[in-house]
Amino acid sequence: MTPLGVTARLRGGQVVLPWGPMGLDSLLGYAIALKHRLPPLVTGLPIPPLPEPLPVAQSPCGRVYLASFSESAMETNETRYANRRFPAREALRLTEMKRVDVSAGPQKSYRIPYTASHLVGDQLTWWCVGDADGIRALLGLIHHVGKRRAIDYGRVARWEVDPVEDPWPGFPVVRAGRPLRPLPLNWPGLTDYARALRVLTPPYYDRTREEPCAVAP
Amino acid sequence: MEMRQLRLEIILEALTPIAHHEQTIGNASLFMGRKVRLRDGSFVRVPQLNADALRHQLREAIAYATLDAAGLLHQLRERVAPPTRDAAGIVADGGPCLTEAAARLLFNGGMLTGRGDASAVRLAEWRSLMDALPHLALFGGCVNSQMIPGQIQVGDGMLVCEENRHLVPTWVLDWCAAQGSALDTCRAHLDEEMRVRMDPSRDPAKRRLLAPAARDALERRLAASERAHDEDDAAAREATKSTMLPRTAEVLVPGSLFSWDVTATVYSDLELDALHTALAAFLANASVGGKSGTGHGRLRGVVANRVELARPKVAYEAVDLGALAPRMGETFRAHVQAHADKVRAVLAAVDA
What are the tens digits of pLDDT across the range B290-311?
A: 999 999 999 999 999 988 886 5
Q: Does residue B1 sit at the A interface (CB-CB below 8 Å)?
A: no
Shortest distance, CA B124 to any CA of chain A (angstroms): 11
Q: What was the ipTM of the complex prediction?
A: 0.88
pLDDT of B312 reads 44
At residue A166, does pLDDT exceed 60? yes
**How many residue pairs from chains A and B have C-beta atoms closer than 8 A?**
116
Choose the weakest-confidence range: A136-140, B121-125, B133-137. B121-125
What are the tens digits of pLDDT across the range A97-115?
A: 888 888 888 888 889 999 9
Work out the pLDDT band at B78, boundaries 50, 70, 90. Answer: very low
Residues 20-59 of B with CB under 8 A from A: 34-35, 37, 43, 50-52, 55
Of B5, B98, B267, the CB nearest to A141: B5
pLDDT of B95 reads 53
Task: State chain B's mean pLDDT as an integer.
Answer: 86
Q: How many whole angstroms separate alpha carbon B347 and alpha carbon B106?
A: 9
B181-198 average pLDDT score: 94
Backbone angles phi, psi at B67, to 5 degrees: -60, -40
What are the tens digits of pLDDT across the range B230-256?
A: 988 888 888 888 888 999 999 999 999
Inter-chain CB proximity B95 and A94 less than 8 Å: no
In sequence order, the β-bridge partners of residue A78 are A116
Nearest partner of B50 among B61, B72, B63, B34, judged by Cα: B34
Task: Let me know: does B166 contact A12? Beta carbons within 8 Å.
Answer: yes
Q: At CB < 8 Å, which residues of chain A contact B?
A: 11-14, 34-35, 37, 39-42, 44-45, 75-76, 78, 82-87, 90-91, 93-97, 106-107, 118, 140-141, 143-144, 149-152, 155
Task: Let me know: does B267 contact B3? Beta carbons within 8 Å.
Answer: yes
Shortest distance, CA B60 to any CA of chain A (angstroms): 10
Length of chain A (residues): 217
- Sequential DSSP letters for B176-217: HHHTT-----HHHHEEEEEEEE--GGG-HHHHTTS-HHHHHH
pLDDT of A149 reads 95
Task: Let me know: does A113 contact A80? Beta carbons within 8 Å.
Answer: yes
pLDDT of B79 reads 46
Task: Let me know: does A42 contact B120? Beta carbons within 8 Å.
Answer: yes
Inter-chain CB proximity A151 and B37 less than 8 Å: no
Q: Which residues contact A39 (CB under 8 A, 6 or more apart)?
A: B121, B123, B126
Q: Which residues contact A210 (CB under 8 A, 6 or more apart)?
A: A197, A198, A199
